[in-house]
Chains A and B, each alone.
Chain A
Amino acid sequence: MTHDKHEGKHDHDHDDHDKHDDHHHEEVAEVEDYPKDAKEESLKSELLTLNMGPQHPATHGVLRIEIKTDSEIVSEAKPYIGYLHRCMEKHTESLDYRGIIPFVDRLDYLAAMNMEVGYALTVEKMLGTEVPARATYIRTLVSELQRIASHLVAFGTYALDLGAFTPFLYAFDQREKILRFFEEISGARLLYNYVWIGGVWNDVTDTQLDFLRDFIEDFEKELDEYHTLVTSNSIFRDRTANVAVIDLKTCLAYGATGPVLRGAGHRWDLRKVQPYLNYNELEFDVPVGGDNPEVGGMVGDCLNRYYVRMREMRESLKIIKQLLLKFPSGPIMGKVSKIIKLPKGEIYMRTECPRGELGFHIVSQGGKEPYRIKVKSPCFTHVSILPVVGPGLMIADFVAAVGSIDIVLGEVDR
């Protein structure tokens, strides 16, 4: 707007010069000698290189994004990873299969249970171990609880990114209850080493399950509060609706999974498509972006990705309720030899973790240590979408985009 005004004013002056001031005519002629588009070109500013991170609070960890900005608008975004690299994949080659579990925890430290379940299922599939029913139920229970805990962090920090501090505290208050339950059953708050090959470490007592029942009742009310506090907030909607649209084509081209893919409107959830654990016995919906027109925004924008997560929490609650109704009794560990030796061969198995598809590719040469373990992490593919999403966004919107993708760097770098 200012640019146009300025030009209009200049033209007006120019006319005045022509009519009245003959001695200024030379100056005007000089201006006319310039090529006509010279003014616009000279107004374009140089690109400013800006480093977001590695310690920028909005990047959720040590992710560094080098963005080139034209004034306020991002024209190029380039993520740099590797600040949290711990050589996990290489390290596993010198460990036995039980000793790998503490390392697997540290992949996605916000969803350690899901990581353990994914790894344990992969090894068990290759060993051909039968897992007792109670252990399977406990595994489903903890992975759904962990999904809620992880989405609560995503929700809280996303609100924090957009300038709202209170939802963060409410979310962490509820997450604390889940972590308390995990601490009671496993002994640790964040890195559990709870799901073992063949079953789980400790049994869950009835008092602990009663604690969960109370939690579910509380949490359903809390979720409604979150929707009134954040989802229906007009500032939040303005910041997220129609911002950073990742369409289905980009998602499929880059291999995005999880809430990013579902936010783009594709109903793909491994719990439904390739049921593992006992998900085929349970009833739940897979929320996708755009199936609820009241949400607003475009399919695949920040608001829809956020809303998919919020609805997944409710679906997880539904699953936990069904699990608590028919909790079987029995042993919690299957028969596994003292020294685990995998047969010679390869295996790839994937599970649905809160951020998307987690795959373990294990190559064994028959020893008690793996030859190679390759982890397919969802966040790594999501980081690679950032250069596509970034251009054209404002810097503040770019922060919103990074937050809505929900990256955990432990999983990206491994």
Chain B
Amino acid sequence: MRAVIKDSIGVFHPQGFLDGASSASLLSIEDIEQTVKSNASMILVSLKKVIFFNRNGLDTFVKMFQKVRIANHITVGFCDYDKKKYNAIKKFYNDDVNFSLFKTQKIASLFSASFKEKNQNILLFSDDKSQRAALAIELHDNGHNPIVAQTQKEFLQKAEVKDAYDIIIEDTFLGQMGQQVATRVTGNAIIYTLSSFLDAEIGNTFNIAYHNNSLNVGFRLFIFDVYKVVSMNIHALNFFSKLASSAAEYNATLCFIGMSFDKTPILFKETLEDSGMMFFNQMDDILQNKELLDELGASSAVSGKNKRAINKVLVTELPNFIDATVTTIEMMTNSKAVKDAAKVNKIEITDQSDKIASSIGFYGDIDGMIMLVFPLGIAKKACELLIGESTEDKELILDTLAELVNIVGGKVKTLLADEHISVNITLPRTYQDMNGLLEVAEGKKGVQVDLSFDNDKFLFFLTR
């Protein structure tokens, strides 16, 4: 089957009934690869003319999607469906949807960078809070103006207003688009999810470079969600022991949540505990316990290793970094930025009150870290756009700020790629006051750029 390619989106249009057997005959991996070669940045299967599908039918496509997504870093999924089909897909895959769902092709095109009609007014809603944020960010990143409804009720009310929006988005889901080893949660802990059998293979599947860079950036709590792990063998034991010992050098903590020792020798638990690994039965034992969370290092950071100075490569790339940051913040706050000063030194924050910060690391051809210090006012303004209304909830602001820094990171990655410098980015980290940030940045030399947004001062710090 051939795809129709428009706006860099390759869409396949199967028709009739989809089950395991027919799907495999309709579409082959070669068909998809051919489409990718024609410069498609998104591969979708339209369900418009599909009257019946079952899980097996979709699975055949999903398996092929996985392959091309991992090999080409493109968005994959389904489009053109009604509510009934959307609910059926969500039900088939429970909470484990690792592809994207776009209600229409038009909606999908809004998420494609090559879409020509920018500046669309878009009303959007999803039951899932993180989906709402992800959708809004992506749309913003593509030059649109998203308005996020926080509740179904609000959504329906807003949607009733005729001609108020160019497009209304619902029943849409953004699946994994890039990094898939970790999930960030409030409290600056990184959660890795593992399943089935842990053996020597873990050394290949676990992204160690990513993990080390997360340590460098200042993450101090790493949680392994192992509810779905059946058993662990000696090779995996060695791997995790080493991981835990090396984390200890950074003062970081590694935890296993929900590990069952039915099929794993209980002796392994002792070995892991000796190397510093902690065990908990449930995720909430940690995440709902703020004191424990603080104690385990989720908000403190003493960076013992690698006080590396800024180097020439980073300085050469500086304009790119500043560009990415400034345009993103300008876009989000609807204001103009003016560059005040730039100097190479240790970070210097004159007025530390009422400021929050976030940081994101990058690694690959060049390594480094970007830190952004926001006055609470600017942060609130930026968040207003993503949340859809003003808020005083500091945790919510920090969360949104993390997403904002994520966008900056993504932009930097793209800009560097244009210069043939390939980097990956870590998850963003947030700091609710300057003490936490200074602990990480202490002693590090870097480039500091002071910026003014209207009357607010804003600080950009690039270091290694």
A binds B: no
